[in-house]
Amino acid sequence: MKQQAIRIHDRYDELNRRERGRVRTRTEFVLGFMGDVGGLATLVIAEEGAREHPGGRPALEHELADCLWSVLIPTHRYNVDLERVFHRTMTELDKRIDTRLSQGDTPGT
């Protein structure tokens, strides 16, 4: 997935150079990601039946793919080993959850 994402990113750079004379900065790219997340939130709300949205399930799937692309590209541009840091972060979260669960405290006791 990452290689395909990078290929599409490089093609967008080529297109933006041709049409605008420059490529999007990393900051502009992340701001675009924020817009994608907003679009995803709208589609999730629609999927849950709380509002109408044209496009239905295919639009939700498309936006999820856009969001994934928008995560893969900054990992490339900032030279982050996403697989390594994902596993490290999930291990840290797992330990925190284990600690809290082992405390045996339940709300209201």
Q: Is 16 exposed, middle or buried (0-12, 13-18, 19+ CB in 10 A)?
A: middle
Quick one: pLDDT at residue 41? Answer: 93
Banded pLDDT at 109 (limits 50, 70, 90) = low
- In which band, very low, low, confident or very high, does the pLDDT at 28 lie, cut at 50, 70 and 90? very high
| Band of residue 100 on the pLDDT scale cut at 50, 70, 90 | very high
**Cα separation of 65 and 63, whole Å?**
5
Q: Which residues contact 9 (CB under 8 A, 6 or more apart)?
A: 69, 73, 76
Q: Distance (Å, rounded) from C-alpha 105 to C-alpha 109?
A: 7
Alpha helix stretches (DSSP H) within 1-109 = 2-20, 26-47, 56-77, 82-102
pLDDT score of 104 = 78
pLDDT at 94 over 90: yes
34-92 pLDDT per residue, tens = 999 999 999 999 888 888 877 888 999 999 999 999 999 999 999 999 999 999 999 99
- Tell me what pLDDT residue 31 has: 94
Domain 2-102 sits in CATH at 1.10.287
